[in-house]
Amino acid sequence: MSSLEAEKVEKNVMDRVRIEKVVVHMSIGNDWDRLQKAARLLESLTGQKPVFRKAKKTIRAFGIVRKRPTSVMVTLRKDKAIAFLKKALEAVDNKLKSSSFDEYGNFSFGIQEHLQLPGTKYDPEVGIFGMDVTVHLTKPGYRVKVRRYRRSRLGKRARVSREEAIKFVKETFGVEVE
């Protein structure tokens, strides 16, 4: 790519990558009391009320029954998403694996214990929980794919590639991708 083409790409507003949403998910299992504690913890960490997710299948070996709540999750957007993502990336020492990124520019990573997040303290009443963080990156034209009226396909340039996602995360959050 020549320098002239690189300038055009930087100036084009439709090529700017942005964070669409951040999904934080805690899978607990069948224990209702632990699920309630995880929901309270997730609400205190994110500032948003979590949603309970139900099991799709019965797995007897793990004691999971179909249509029973087994996990909690919350979807963060805009400023809340960015603020939480900064804390979550600090918990993993601002390092991500390149295998965490998919070909559409999304990436996920796990946090072993919620205590790794900066500013959280151990509460023996709550316990220790791990979580998965999934980040969905888009470009401004993405709405064409998800709107209800006159939905259409996205062109190649309107999608976020894996390389663009890695570049965005490095520049925006100062993350080291291995």
pLDDT tens profile 6-50: 666 567 888 899 999 999 999 998 888 999 999 999 999 999 999
CA atoms within 13 A on the CB side of 11: 6
Token readout for 7 is 């300038």
pLDDT at 177 over 90: yes
Query: pLDDT, tens digit, for every residue of 76-94?
Result: 999 999 999 999 999 999 9
Q: Outline where DSSP puts E strands in 28-148.
A: 51-54, 69-76, 95-96, 107-111, 131-138
**Tokens 């791990």 identify what position?**
130
What's the pLDDT band for 151 if we cut at 50, 70, 90? very high
What gap in Å lies between CA 123 and CA 101, rounded to an integer? 33
Nearest C-alpha neighbor of 120 from the set 87, 92, 82: 87
What's the pLDDT band for 62 if we cut at 50, 70, 90? confident
pLDDT at 136 over 80: yes
pLDDT of 63 reads 82
Determine the average pLDDT of the residues in 90-111: 94
pLDDT of 105 reads 86
Dihedral sign computed on CA atoms, order 22, 27, 31, 33: negative
Name residue 15's amino acid.
Answer: D
Residues whose CB is less than 8 angstroms from the CB of residue 33 and which lie 6 or more positions away in sequence, other chains included: none
Token readout for 127 is 């316990």
Helix (H, G, I), strand (E, B) or coil at 175: coil
Determine the average pLDDT of the residues in 107-115: 94
pLDDT of 2 reads 60
Q: Which residue has the higher pLDDT, 116 or 1?
A: 116
What gap in Å lies between CA 167 and CA 58, rounded to an integer? 41
The domains located in the chain, with CATH, are 15-177 (3.30.1440.10)
pLDDT of 149 reads 94
pTM: 0.87
Helix (H, G, I), strand (E, B) or coil at 161: coil
pLDDT at 148 over 70: yes
Residues whose CB is less than 8 angstroms from the CB of residue 157 and which lie 6 or more positions away in sequence, other chains included: 14, 15
